[in-house]
Structure 1
Amino acid sequence: MDSADPSQSLSSSLDLKPLEALAGTGQTLSWNQLPSPQVERFTQALDPETGLGGIVTPETQEQLAAVVAWTAQQQVGILPYGNGSKLHWGGLVRNAGLGVGTARLNRLVEHAVGDLTVTVEAGMKFADLQGILAAADQFLPLDPAYPDRATIGGIIATADTGSLRHRYRGVRDILLGISFVRADGQLTKAGGRVVKNVAGYDLMKLLTGSYGTLGMITQATLRVYPMAEASGTVILTGNAEAIAQATQTLLASALTPVTVDLLSASWVKPWVKSWEIGIGPGLIVGFQGLSESVQQQSSRLLEVGEKLGLRGILADEPQLWRQFPQTIWNASSYPKVAAESPATASPEVSSGVSPIRCKIGILPTAAVATLMQSPAQGWIHAGVGLGILQFEPDTSIAVLEEQRRWCQAQGGFFSILEAPIELKQRLDPWGYTGNAWELMGQIKQKFDPQTRLSPQRFSFS
């Protein structure tokens, strides 16, 4: 048996006919019927000895519950997914025989404009939801990877947000209520549709960042915010010590930025090449609010930079800080990848020469030092210490291990999101060294006693 070909796995003999009756015709596809981009996405998420018999994409929560109940009866492992934009993140899934998708669960359930809440099904695309909210001059304060493809359920399952975390905190903090299907196929709810809600145990915290290992999210109620009157972006560049000082001065000041990001010089350069600005690591700060406030705060930050010998600009583009994530998560922004394989511009298909992307967490005070010591391109949210390091495709395991040790020494972590399968087989993507593995394993056992939901996605399972 060729272990590199999932279609040759024993799971490929799975009988999909019962699923057609549960999920409707046209919602079930065998592995051999999948289009090549989808095959590639699944392949990057699976251990080479694991393959899927096929996928099913139910159209209702009830259909999804029935499918999961059937897999429980048949003892079939499942790989939950939304639109597949982040299927390749983290650990490799083993012993999954069926992919269960939520892309057809994409309806707006309720938008309570006056209450600043919205309830949607998990398969709704993030970009589509933002379009709906924009019509009411509101927005969801998240900035996930691959925003055009990411679904709300996938964002919650991976706890995926970026720069906006500085002002609006994390995914869990804007999640008010959730519905999900348990491993036995039972529909369950937690939280509610109001901002003040303290009913029951915080299952939402457990499900946020669980990567589909505890249940399949079907619906979510989220807190939304009014759009600001104005926004602006300040870019400061210069030597590392001055950038670090400017960052600490900003964070200790009365200024109220929405985003505070530190970028490696190589990531700053493409954005400032048309302006008269220095070379070096960059401090990118976004402000939102009343027009006068944005102007005043931007001017004060520019004054701070000038006193420290930094060069700075107030960018004309009011939404410039929103464009950074789109560039960073697009593989074509990586020069070597773009030159060697233009096809890697889309994350839907990985050619094997895409950059290695890792999520890090460090003490905020170590952010600049982390950027300067790393051979990777870096993007760190300075207020919280979370960020992304992007390494060249041929980076050695020794280099990655050294970077992991550095982050752990700074009181943080180093997780591998995107990397070749061979690398993930040799180096634990999570690298967790804390004392909570046993507790997490016990929680997994309670929620999924047969270990069928995203099996082995985390090392403890």
Structure 2
Amino acid sequence: MNAIASTLTTILSEQNAVLAWENLPPTQQQAFQQVIVSKNQPSCIVYPRTQTQLASVITTANQNKWRVLCCGSGSKLNWGGLTQNIDIIVSTEYINQLIEHAVGDLTITVEAGMKFAQIQEILAKSRQTLALDPFAPASATIGGIVATADTGSLRQRYGSVRDQILGITFVRADGQIAKAGGRVVKNVAGYDLMKLFTGAYGTLGMISQVTFRVYPQPESSGTVVLTGQPDAIAQAAATLKASALTPTQADLVSSKLAAVLGLGAEIALLARFQSISESVKEQSQRLLELGQKLGLNGIIYAGEDEIDLWQRLPEQIYSYGLEQRITAKIGVLPTAAVEILNQLELGVIHIGSGLGIANLENQQQTLAVRKLCQTHAGFLSVLTAPLSVKEKIDIWGYNGNALHVMGRIKEQFDKNYILNPGRFVHGI
């Protein structure tokens, strides 16, 4: 065993807590090589079992200025920027315990390595739910979801990841354990580090514990699908947004993605209503009537068909073409969503926020769509792409004026630049 791995083995006494790089299965090595592009490979991967062990590992790394790749289960390793010359990989996959589920307070506190699907199983016993819909829910860990700000269509009703975090515990780059927020909904103590850490791709510290607000499970659910001409769909989306209707999910879907989902060959509007059954029926009917007035085709999905539809939507857009294509997070003014989707084969945009996901054919198309998004006060950031593409282009495409501030924040939290170097905007 190499010197770094031997040092870390003295900190972690559990069996298989430190695995030398050469002992990793080839498939696991290949997964890490999607983000680590240097010829020098990491010495080992480390699996702390407790928050204290994690702090000890990071303390040792900081003292030795070892560069650390932070991860959970690795389901989003191929998201974000590339990194080089990593000394150790630290995974929170085994820091995965339930800390507290306060049923009456509608909050849950879990360690960062707990899988999203496990949390939903725990909450379901009390007829509650965590109102996020991340990619790969069966394998995604809470730490990874927060670090990448990963949620989908549910942001229409419940907001983004950062809107639902009440408290956070993390290990600083110097190994100290720090906390922000709390375990109750009405909490305004201290700096709002929850928002700062959400979407920072692990560059400011390693998240070890998170407290979320949760919600009661809805009694009933139904999804209205409208398809037809782009102008009519755009008008339906604008009318829905301005109305008193309250969908929990509302997405515009490109024509090819609609076809892949079996919805027809035209652009589509999907709106999901979840409430008491009478409300779901009334709201669904009102949207169907709006669609009829605009000359749109309409249908209601319910039961298993509805569940299947919302599961397949993200799966299709992320998996179509696999490694050969590019997936990107996009954002535009909601009024421009239909215009953008008309330029995409596979794309979905949430009508409330203007955020969405695009599946793109190649580098040239990606840059063209980025330019189009920017003309509509938007952006395009590459999530997954072949290494040859990520090595050539600026995956973030950030053209704002906050780079200096971002750099100063990184220096304050991680002055030695050991945590996930290169993973965030401008190589941070």
Could you state the TM-score of these two structures normalised by the residue count of structure 2?
0.96
Aligned match of 1:341: none
SS at match of 1:439: helix
Distance in 1 between the 2:38 and 2:84 partners? 8
Q: CA deviation at 1:221?
A: 0.5
Contact 1:83–1:150 at 8 Å: present in 2 too?
yes
Counterpart of 1:194 in structure 2 is 184
Q: 1:301 aligns with which of 287, 293, 304?
A: 287
Partners of 1:231 and 1:319 within 8 A in 2: no
Deviations 1:308-336 (A, max 9, x none): 000010113367267435453357952xx
CA distance in 2 between counterparts of 1:50 and 1:285 reads: 49
Whether 1:388 and 2:347 are equivalent positions in the alignment is no
Task: Please name the residue that 2:407 is paired with.
Answer: 441
Aligned amino acid, residue 262 of structure 2? V
Output the amino acid matched with 2:172: R
Within 5 Å, give how 1:41-440 maps onto structure 2: 41-272=31-262, 279-317=265-303, 320=306, 323-329=309-315, 334=320, 337=321, 352-353=323-324, 355-374=325-344, 376-392=345-361, 395=362, 397-440=363-406
Percentage identity across paired residues of the two chains: 51
Greater Cα shift, 30-39 or 172-181: 30-39
User: Secondary structure of 1:23's match?
Assistant: coil
The whole-number CA distance in structure 2 between the counterparts of 1:227 and 1:122 is: 23
Task: Determine if contact 1:377/1:390 at 8 Å carries over to the other structure.
Answer: yes
- Give me the whole-angstrom Cα distance separating, in 1, the residues matched to 2:235 and 2:127: 36
Give the match's secondary structure for 1:426.
coil
Distance in structure 1 (CA, Å) of the matches to 2:133 and 2:308: 8
In the alignment, structure 1 residue 20 sits paired with structure 2 residue 9: yes
Contact 1:286 1:321 in 2 (8 A): no
Q: Equivalent residue of 2:114, what SS?
A: coil
* Distance change (3 Å), C-alpha of 1:141 and 1:310: same
Deviations 1:261-282 (A, max 9, x none): 0111121124336xxxx53011
Whether the aligned pair in 2 keeps the contact of 1:257 and 1:286 (CA below 8 Å) is yes
Offset at residue 50 of structure 1 (A): 4.9
| CA 114–304 in structure 1, closer or farther in 2 if over 3 Å, else same | same
Distance 1:407 1:188, change over 3 A: same
SS at match of 2:252: strand
- Which residue identity lines up with residue 357 of structure 2 in the other structure? I
Deviates more, 1:118-127 or 1:451-460: 451-460
**Runs of 4 or more off by more than 4 Å in structure 1?**
330-333
1:149 Cα deviation from its structure 2 partner: 0.7
CA distance in 2, matches of 1:269, 1:324: 15
Which digits, 9 at most, give the CA deviation of each residue in 1:13-36, with x for residues without a partner? 652012112122311111111122
The aligned length equals: 426
Per the alignment, do residues 326 and 39 of structure 1 end up closer, same or farther by CA in structure 2, a change over 3 Å counting?
Answer: farther
Name the aligned partner's letter for residue 285 of structure 2: S
Q: Distance in 1 between matches of 2:229 and 2:143?
A: 41
State the distance in 2 between where 1:225 and 1:253 align.
24
User: TM-score normalized by structure 1?
Assistant: 0.89
By how many angstroms is 1:94 displaced?
2.0
Could you tell me which residue of structure 2 aligns to residue 8 of structure 1? none
- Per-residue deviation, residues 289-319 of structure 1 (Å, max 9, x unmatched): 0001000100000000011000010113367
Structure 1: stretches of 5+ with no match in the other structure = 1-11, 338-343, 345-351
**Is residue 233–residue 319 contact of structure 1 (8 Å, CA) maintained in 2?**
no
Q: Secondary structure at the match of 2:266?
A: coil
Deviations 1:114-145 (A, max 9, x none): 00000000000000100000011000000001
Mapped to 1, the partners of 2:317 and 2:196 lie a distance apart of 31
